Amino acid sequence: MNQLDRTVLEKLADDRGGPHVSIYVPLGREALHDEQNDIRLRNALKNAAGELARWDAIGGEAGGLLAPARRRLDANRLARDGVEGLAVLIDNNRLAAYGLPCRCPDLVVVGERFHLKPLMDLVFKHESSSSDELAGVDIREIVPAACNGRIDTLLLSRDDDVWGQYDRESEAVQIHRDGRRLGDEDLLDLAAVESLLSGARVQLVDRDDVPGATVAAAVYRYPRNEV
């Protein structure tokens, strides 16, 4: 297993271009007897191969990209060691696997960058915000603010994904509430990654603990009109 801290997370967040495969698999000791953990991992890798084909970035090389993970990862052994979640990050230069001490979503994402929100829950679980006044709870406002380095503190629901697309030039945010579409990314993950890279504090909490009965809340470093 690879070690994870904020420095490593920032390097992962800053890695862009080319296909990046992010796989999250929940594990459990109760599934040891029927090898369900290994089955979950194999299914996740199969889904990743399908996503790579749809993403149409490396064509016939998709199987080769995932082959090291198929050979090296043993989900049942990790579950026996008390690991409750497995994160696997793969690109042309990397196979990184992280054992998580808490359950994670069953999720596969292929895109221009790694999907890192579930890992932030681990790295930032001891960080908290002292701000009482939250300046924004609208994801359409929070995403551009994050991409422009305006966020001081970001609070996100660990229970939710918001699939859609963001145009950096126009700062337009499209949210696809009817489900994930080809080319979508989790806008909460995008906000988290961009906030991390600008030095902001990022905290994942239960949905009920996000102010404003929403999935994201932010404290800004300065108002939008001061940009």
Residue 208: give the domain boundaries: 139-226
The mean pLDDT value for 208-218 works out to 88
Please indicate, yes or no, whether residues 84 and 28 belong to a single structural domain of this protein: yes
pLDDT tens column, 152-161? 999 999 989 9
Please indicate, yes or no, whether residues 13 and 107 belong to a single structural domain of this protein: yes
Indicate the residue among 115, 131, 151 that finishes a domain: 115
Q: Is residue 211 part of a domain?
A: yes
Residue 13: closest CA among 111, 152, 141, 86: 111
Please report where in the chains the tokens 């029927």 appear, as a residue. 34
Rounded to the nearest angstrom, the gap between the alpha carbon of residue 99 and the centroid of all alpha carbons in its chain is: 15
Determine the Cα–Cα distance for residues 36 and 211; give it in Å rounded to an integer. Answer: 37
Determine the Cα–Cα distance for residues 111 and 18; give it in Å rounded to an integer. Answer: 8
Please indicate, yes or no, whether residues 197 and 97 belong to a single structural domain of this protein: no
Q: Is residue 128 part of a domain?
A: no
Output the pLDDT for position 60. Answer: 45
Please indicate, yes or no, whether residues 19 and 106 belong to a single structural domain of this protein: yes
Indicate the residue among 57, 80, 115 that finishes a domain: 115
**What percent of the chain is modeled with pLDDT above 90?**
50
* Maximum average pLDDT range among 23-27, 77-81, 131-135: 23-27
Q: How confident is the model at residue 205 (pLDDT cuts 50, 70, 90)?
A: very high
Please indicate, yes or no, whether residues 85 and 150 belong to a single structural domain of this protein: no
pLDDT tens column, 94-104? 899 998 888 88
The mean pLDDT value for 196-215 works out to 90
- CATH code for position 16: 3.30.960
- Count up the domains in the chain and report the number: 2
Determine the Cα–Cα distance for residues 185 and 115; give it in Å rounded to an integer. Answer: 8
The mean pLDDT value for 138-162 works out to 94
The mean pLDDT value for 182-208 works out to 94
The whole-model pTM stands at 0.80
Please indicate, yes or no, whether residues 107 and 171 belong to a single structural domain of this protein: no
